Amino acid sequence: MSAITKRLPLDHAAAAEGRRLAADPNIVSVGFGLKFVGGKPTMEVALHYYVREKLAADDAIEQRGSEKVPPQVEGYKTDVLLWKIARANACPDSKRPTAERGSRREDPLVGGTSTAILGGFSNILFHYGTLGGICFDAGNGAAMAISNAHVWGSDLGTEAIQPFPPVSDYVGGAIEWLACGGPLSHLFTWTAPSALTGVLTGAAAAAWVAAAASDAEDPNRWGQRVSPIPAAGVKTTRERIQLVAKLPRIPFPGRHWSSKAMWDYTRDTTAGSNNVMTDEARSNEHVLVGKRVFTDRNVYSPGDTVGICAQLWTLAGERDPERFVVAHSFPIRDPGRVIQRVLRQGAACARLDRALDEGRQSICIHGFPHQVAGVAAVNFPLIAAPFVVIGEDSSELLDPGPNNPSGVSALRLPKRLLAIACPPSTHVDLSLFHRGAAVRVRAISANGAAVDQAVTPPDPDVAHRLRLTGPEIIRIELDGRDGDGFLAEICVDKRMIGVEKWKGVSTYYGGSFPLPRNEPDGKWAVVVISQSLDNTPTNGDPIAAARKLGGIVDSANVSETGECACEILFDATFDVAAPILL
């Protein structure tokens, strides 16, 4: 009875052969794959020996100082394959693999350019990132592309595009309009079964993965840095990484949050294994101070050219504040019809901004409407376009009279923190009064930071005016829990501000597109998405390059307005109206 010999797994056999032949002058590496016969793959696995030069004669192999590859190793057939750089001219010096990626069409495609995967409603932003490079099918020579799973996902059969993604699915999916008419077109809401499903999960995935696994230093390089260095003569055979990261409640891109992450790194060597582990909160580093978007006019005729400007505020001290910025414009009645334009840096938008600023007007609500005529009670959410008073409870209105110094129907502040969603703004003016306990207010930016705060004077039964200023204010929080407080008026505008107080610096981007000549009347919206750029120079420091992530969204385009309610922020709106012929 013969003994049964258990052979090594295929990948282990390849690794063992690779280590054994590491010093061979002709054998470059050992891998595994399908056995080739006559240049065509078969359905049988084999060990692949990649050689610098195929040598048929034994004496030629011996003269080269190499070792002859036997027909079988560890019970597996072998293949000797010529090692070569496929299409060495595919990435010439004139085509840098990093830097100005994504802002233009690359032909031929080279590694480092911005790409996206077309797919379902949840794919936008998540599948938006860098092409790693071009490779070739060993069976038929067909060109293929390679990237990371967090860029393109794991679904088969999807299509990749370059340089930037369409967002028709992004804005054209299951949306529920807050149907109150008027200028509420600044906001719209998704119908989602929970706050972590559908597009919200997809849109947040890249930012969460970057924070948990990549920013500042990735787990592999961290492990190499902090683990013991192998002694002379000891070879590293494998590196293993285990990563466990806690998902923040809703990790929106472009917002301040942190993720608790555990990194476990093991280095296997010929002398044994070394292990190190760390467990700490890792912050989302991809956050703008804010943005401000405007068009060169408020009303256009069909066939006119729409000019779009975006003022991005990045943190002062950033080595490279440049971003890849795309404006997505669409008619609100038909959000699937999207026109995209890459916005480019330029001084024209700064000049236009100064010219337009003096004529910019505030959007105001003077008093709050009764939900039912003659009834003081109101239920939240209370919609007073374009503002949404957030909540799931109720309050009441106080009509003009002896106890109301404002002269309008004022909203009694509930015995909790009251939040009001507003269009992206730089200034907020409030009119409040109270019965003796001051009301505290603060402004929240789209990135989640509190950018300004104020307190009413102590005088009771007097209408007090407060002003809040800051970059991209999208929510106002009012705290009147210490006594009876009332809100009578709120106004917002998007006039110019300096952002030095918030440690920001300004960069303008601009672009344009023509409206169709047969475009019907209606309101359009503009959503601007900003991504980080990898401007690492070619042949630069690989450690620095590894710490510079391109393609991560750092603009805040989503706002949480309730337990399971989220809104996409429209950065700007404009109207299309055909001229009236008399």
What is the predicted pLDDT for the residue at 513? Answer: 96
> What's the pLDDT score for residue 111?
72
Give pLDDT, residue 582.
63
- Percentages of the chain per state (helix, strand, coil), in multiples of 5: 15, 40, 45
Per-residue pLDDT at 538: 62
- Secondary structure (3-state) at 90: helix
Residues in CB range of 379: below 8 A, 6 or more apart: 371, 393, 394
Query: How much is the CA Rg of the chain, to the nearest whole Å?
Result: 30
Q: CB under 8 Å to 215, separation ≥6 — which residues?
A: 282, 283, 284, 285, 286, 547, 549
Find, among 420, 416, 400, 396, the residue nearest to 408 by Cα: 400
CATH architecture of 290-360+500-576: Sandwich (2.60)
Spans of all domains in the chain? 10-82, 290-360+500-576, 365-493
SS3 539: coil
CATH of domain 365-493: 2.60.120
Model-level pTM? 0.64
Burial class (CB in 10 A: 0-12, 13-18, 19+), 346: middle
106 touches 100 (CB < 8 A): no
Number of neighbours of residue 499 by Cβ within 10 angstroms: 22
Q: Measure Cα distances from 514 to 103, 294, 340, 576 in Å.
A: 20, 16, 11, 12
Q: What's residue 554's pLDDT? A: 87
Q: What is the pLDDT of residue 559?
A: 73
Beta strand 522-532 pairing with 440-445:
unpaired
Check if the beta carbon of residue 380 is closer than 8 Å to that of residue 393: yes
Question: What is the structure's pLDDT at 456?
Answer: 96
What's the DSSP call for residue 257?
A: -
Give the DSSP per-residue string, 375-434: --EEESSEEETTEEEE-SSEEEEE-SBTTBTTSS-EEEPPSSEEEEEEEEEEEEEEEEEE
Task: Write down the pLDDT at residue 78.
Answer: 93
The residue whose two tokens read 């044994």 is 272
The reported pLDDT for the residue numbered 237 is 85
Helix (H, G, I), strand (E, B) or coil at 368: coil
Selection from 241, 239, 244, 242 nearest residue 273 by Cα:
239
Map residue 171 onto helix, strand or coil.
Answer: helix
Long-range contacts of 38-42 (CB under 8 A, 24+ apart): 40/139, 41/138, 41/139
Structure tokens that stand for 10 in this block:
């295929």
One-letter amino acid identity for 138?
A
Eight-class DSSP state of 553 = B
Instruction: Average pLDDT across each block of 10 residues of the chain; the chain has 582 residues. List them in order.
Output: 61 86 89 80 82 90 92 91 56 38 56 59 42 77 74 60 39 25 28 27 51 61 84 86 65 78 85 87 86 96 97 89 89 83 93 95 92 86 83 89 93 93 94 95 95 96 96 95 93 95 95 95 91 69 57 78 63 91 66
Task: List b or e across 442-474, with b for residues whose CB sees 16 or more CB atoms inside 10 angstroms.
Answer: bbbbbbbbebbebebeeeeeebbebebbbbbbb
